[in-house]
Structure 1
Amino acid sequence: MYIPKCFKVTNVDEIWNFVQKNSFGTIITTEQGKPIATHMPFGFTKKGDDFYISGHMAYGNPQWRTFEACNDVLVMFQGPDAYISSSWYGHEEVPTWNYQAVHVYGKASILEKNELIEELTKMMEHYEQNREHPVLWDKLSPELLESELKGIVGFKIKVKEIQAAYKLSQNRSETDYINIIEKLQNEGSPNSKQIAELMNKELKNRI
């Protein structure tokens, strides 16, 4: 991913928090030069200094069969994004787009059955934790679980490289920056408001 220096994020803890918050991502591999992508939620684990991403896909999805041949797979995570009109600047300029994106590269391997159950258990606990009647692994019938396990393939990715870009108008003057925040807050779009909140947080860090 091309990242101009002013938009590059290198704080690993910050990036790790970002991907966990925006855990529905896209995994990309290739088969005979053709890209293949699947959209899915991911799980995250840190073991010592190593980071792992885990997930599962339908057995009928041919992408998991490409893992062995691929030296690297790419997983992409994205936060909010918003159109930035150049009419919000104090000088002539072209429009642009603000966004947050993280690309993670690593080697994927297939999970054993016990590893898959552990991954699914943790994922359900994570996403069901605030539900009034949480659906957890040990609350489901063994028959249903065994049937579902036959239809999916679990995998984990040992992270080799992380690229992160937060394009939030950092290259604009303070006057333009503040005006962009105000305009985004008035856009009415949830994404625009989220970008405004992120920019406002960054502004406070500058002061």
Structure 2
Amino acid sequence: MSDPFADFTTDDIRALIAQHPLAWVCSVGDAPSEAAQLPLIGEYDEDGRLLSLIGHLGRANPLYDRLRAQGRALLLFSGPSAYVSPEHAGLRDWAPTWIYANLRITAEVTVDAALTDEALDVLIGAMEHGRQAPWTRAEIAHRYHGMASAIIGFRAWVTGIAGRFKFGQDERDAVYRTIAERLAEPAVTPWLRRFNPDR
């Protein structure tokens, strides 16, 4: 039996990462795991498939040594989520549930000081895009190199992607429509529509 919540597209992956770039980066291997939340920006091929993610971390972060030694990581992205009460469904004999999105990405990681400037510029460009006066690192040029010496860039080359996008696809039409009308969660509403376009 197929899982309706595991049916997602490259566009869905791209949207989730763009809207929720702060991911858990977890080391993998025999040693006890290290993990840190880090902002990551996706890099895509001409067909929109996720190829890699670029980011940076502090050299003092225990994850730094682990990534250098192991060269692999698990990246965990959490998207929008909301609790759904029977009140939202309009049914007292309906069990509460949670709607959410997540991605679990395995990757081969290259940690390299030569990537640091690029990683910062890509992140700043993505986060400052659309602002009236976008900030650039040139504005702290007088102290940038001192700050940058404490961090290092990395690129995570994607080796596998799994995820779940649970937005009421399994609900009866009438129940779904009631939830969509009553659930006042602005971050979730576009995703409900995205995964139920004909309802």
Identity %: 19
Corresponding residue of 1:99 = 100
Partner of 1:200: 193
Q: Which runs of 5+ in 2 are unaligned?
A: none
Shift of the 199–110 alpha-carbon distance from structure 1 to 2, 3 Å rule, reads same
CA distance in 2, matches of 1:127, 1:50: 19
Alpha-carbon deviation of 1:68? Answer: 3.6
Cα deviation for residue 132 of structure 1 reads 3.5
Cα distance per residue 1:14-51 (max 9 Å; x no partner)? 31232122212211114754232211211222356661
CA contact (8 A) 2:103 2:164 kept: yes
Cα distance in 1 for residues equivalent to 2:45 and 2:186? 36
Q: 5+ residue gaps in structure 1?
A: 186-191
Q: What is the correspondence of 1:126-165 to structure 2 with a 5 Å cutoff? A: 126-141=126-141, 143-165=142-164
Deviations 1:147-185 (A, max 9, x none): 012100211100011112110111110111111112213
In the TM superposition, residue 10 of structure 1 has moved relative to its aligned partner by 3.5
CA RMSD of aligned residues (A): 2.4
Report the AA paired with residue 161 of structure 1: G
- TM-aligned CA distance change 1:146 to 1:28, over 3 Å: same
Where do residues 7-156 of structure 1 align in structure 2 (5 Å cutoff)? 7-30=5-28, 32-47=30-45, 51-70=51-70, 72-87=72-87, 88=89, 90=91, 92-113=93-114, 115-141=115-141, 143-156=142-155
Do the aligned partners of residues 71 and 94 (structure 1) sit closer, same or farther apart at CA in structure 2, a change above 3 Å counting?
Answer: farther
What is the CA–CA distance in structure 2 between the aligned matches of 1:196 and 1:122, rounded to whole Å?
29
1:58, distance to aligned residue in structure 2 (A): 1.1
Deviation per CA, 1:76-125: give whole Å up to 9, x if none. 11221111123525473421100111111111111232x22122122222
Aligned length: 195
Question: TM-score, length-normalised on structure 2?
Answer: 0.85
| Structure-1 residue corresponding to 2:3 | 5
Greater Cα offset, 28-37 or 62-71: 28-37
Q: CA deviation at 1:199?
A: 1.7
Do the aligned residues in 2 keep the contact of 1:31 with 1:66 (CA within 8 Å)? no
